[in-house]
Amino acid sequence: MQAEVESTFIGTANHGYGQHAQEEIRRLFGQGCKFGMLVPAEIFIFTLPVDKEEATRRLLEQEPMFLRHIQPVDARQTWNGGSMDELVELVRTTKVLSLEEGAATAVQVRKTEQVGSELSPAGCKQAIDRVLAERFGTVAVVKDAKWTVSVYLTAAEVYLGLSRPEHNLSDWSGGAVRFRKEEGQVSRAKFKLLEAERVFGLDFSQYRSAIDIGAAPGGWTSLLLERGLRVTAVDPAKLDKELLRNPRLTFLQKNAGDVKFPENSFDLLVCDMSWSPRQMARLVKELLYALQSGGTAVITVKLLHKKPFQTVREMLEDVQPELMLQKAKQLFHNREELTLFLVKA
């Protein structure tokens, strides 16, 4: 009898949205999927009825909104709480690792709270880096890796996987994107737009003129100004006073429904308002005459009623056919929301 083909991964979503990520996976691969929870509502293990290559291809081509990060499970081994020596021996002897000499390799280690503090992720990474260097002659890196070795530790099992960084959906460990807070930073909302730029493959410095709807206190506006754009910020609330000194900023302290612009004034529209999605969509649609054809929109959609798929569907219906969705993602810096990347037809 021919062995059944399948592949196993660990998936990570923002806390509270693990079940939505699982639903997207089930829709993509059918009822043959199997799931088990590692961290409630956040991190789960799943097995798919296709091989690792096919599973990765589908997940990349039709990337789920709520699945932030995946790591393949190429080997799993039980242990009793474990020790560093046991972990090192597992990595030294496992047959699933095959790395060419000199390959730039990033080791990413995560663990559940039940694993003892003596096994810190940083300490485990350093030990595994040494083993891989001894065994394969690899070069330990954090960025620009050719390979990622992923290790996930629970009190009962060790999960080990090897992948290309781009195959994990995010090249950050667990998809936890970290930016350094800057002195004088207007708000942490800036991190959200920084992450969106990276996840959506955008380069804001390539744009000319942007409108920021619901801009106050100015986190998104500040990033766009740093990228060299001319920015028109619209909000009835006050903008950070330091931003007002920038000669490339036009601040309209008004409701967005009360402003008018010449047609095709902007090639970028951004909006991060704490409004209901349909109210926000209608407001954005009323201003789309000012966005050039082919222009980009980056919009945050608040998930107010825990019906995310319906919320996104309705919001897209409200802005189509003018705006066409390119990608929707719940970013690491999102909370009860999604970020959408759209292009004007």
Phi–psi pair at 101, nearest 5 degrees: -60, 135
Checking if the pLDDT of 181 tops 80, the result is no
- Quote the CA–CA distance of 221 and 232 in Å, as a whole number: 8
The DSSP bridge partners found for residue 109 are: 151
Q: Which burial class, exposed, middle or buried, applies to 84 when counting CB atoms under 10 A from its CB (0-12, 13-18, 19+)? A: middle
Within 10 angstroms of residue 247's Cβ, the number of other Cβ atoms is 7
**Is it the case that residue 305 has pLDDT exceeding 90?**
no
Locate 333 and state its tokens.
């810096």
What is the mean pLDDT of the segment spanning 301-313? Answer: 89
The per-residue pLDDT for range 192-250, each reduced to its tens digit, is 999 999 999 999 999 999 999 999 999 999 999 999 999 999 999 999 999 999 999 99
The tens digit of pLDDT for each residue in 138-180 reads: 999 999 999 999 999 999 999 999 999 999 999 999 999 988 7
Q: What is the model's pLDDT at position 1?
A: 46
Mean local confidence (pLDDT), 260-285: 93
Got the DSSP string for 214-256?
T-TT-HHHHHHHHTT-EEEEE-SSPPPTTGGG-TTEEEE-S-G
Residue 166, burial from CB neighbour count under 10 angstroms (0-12, 13-18, 19+): exposed
What confidence score (pLDDT) does residue 304 get?
78
Answer yes or no: is pLDDT of 186 > 70: no
SS (H, E, C) 100-128: CCCCEEEEEEEECCCCCCCCCHHHHHHHH
Catalytic residue list: 302
Q: What are the two backbone dihedrals, phi and then psi, of residue 164, each rounded to the nearest 5 degrees? A: -75, 140
Per cent of the chain over pLDDT 90 is 88
Mean per-residue pLDDT, 44-61:
97
Chain-centre distance of CA 310, in angstroms? 21
pLDDT band at 117 (very low <50, low <70, confident <90, very high): confident
Q: What pLDDT is attached to residue 3?
A: 56
216 vs 241: CA distance, rounded Å: 11
Three-state secondary-structure class, residue 258: helix
* DSSP 8-state class, residue 84: H
Bridge partners (DSSP) of residue 34 are 47
62-115: pLDDT as tens digits: 999 999 999 999 999 998 877 899 999 999 999 999 999 999 999 999 999 999
Q: In the chain, pLDDT over 70 holds for what percent of residues? A: 98
Q: H or E segment at 130?
A: helix 121-136
With residues binned 3-state (H G I as helix, E B as strand, rest as coil), the percentages for the chain, rounded to 5, are: 30, 30, 40
Q: Count other C-beta atoms under 10 Å from residue 188's C-beta.
A: 11
pLDDT of residue 178: 87
Please state the rounded mean pLDDT for residues 21-42.
96
What contacts 24+ positions apart, CB below 8 Å, involve 163-167? 163/56, 163/71, 163/72, 165/106, 166/60, 167/56, 167/60, 167/70, 167/72
Average pLDDT, the chain: 94
Q: Does residue 321 have a cis peptide bond before it, meaning omega lies within 30 degrees of 0?
A: yes
User: Is the CA virtual torsion 158, 164, 165, 170 positive or negative?
Assistant: negative
**How is residue 135 written in tokens?**
């065994």
**182 pLDDT tier (thresholds 50, 70, 90):** low
Q: Which two tokens stand for residue 241?
A: 């006073």
